């Protein structure tokens, strides 16, 4: 999961779902309007990942973020 500030004031999200062996299952990107708060943007990315995991009915999932906070 990663959030990145886009030049027009929106945030972009990148989500990658992969198996334990590292092979890619799927990717998602999203853009949304948000404050300049990076913590909130990263939290929204985490929420999007959890919603995706629930849609796919996955269990035993490890979520990785690159946020420092």
For the entire predicted model, the pTM comes to 0.79
Q: Where are the alpha helices (DSSP H) in the chain?
A: 38-55
pLDDT above 90 covers a percentage of the chain that reads 28
Q: Is residue 61 one of the residues assigned to a domain?
A: no
Q: 15 pLDDT band (50/70/90 cuts)?
A: very high
Q: Is residue 32 one of the residues assigned to a domain?
A: yes
Q: Is residue 44 one of the residues assigned to a domain?
A: yes
Reference 49, options 33, 58, 69; nearest CA is: 58
- State the pLDDT at residue 34: 76
pLDDT at 68 over 80: no
- State the pLDDT at residue 20: 85
Domain enclosing residue 9, as ranges: 2-56
- Number of folded domains that form the chain: 1
Q: Is residue 20 one of the residues assigned to a domain?
A: yes
Q: Is residue 31 one of the residues assigned to a domain?
A: yes
Q: 27 pLDDT band (50/70/90 cuts)?
A: very high
């Amino acid at each position: 999961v990663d959030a990145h500030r886009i030049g027009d004031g929106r945030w972009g999200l990148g989500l990658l779902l992969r198996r334990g062996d590292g092979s890619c299952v799927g990717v998602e990107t999203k853009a949304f309007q948000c404050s300049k708060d990076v913590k909130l943007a990263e939290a929204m990315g985490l929420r999007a990942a959890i919603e995706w995991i629930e849609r796919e009915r996955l269990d035993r999932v490890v979520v990785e973020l690159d946020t420092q906070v």
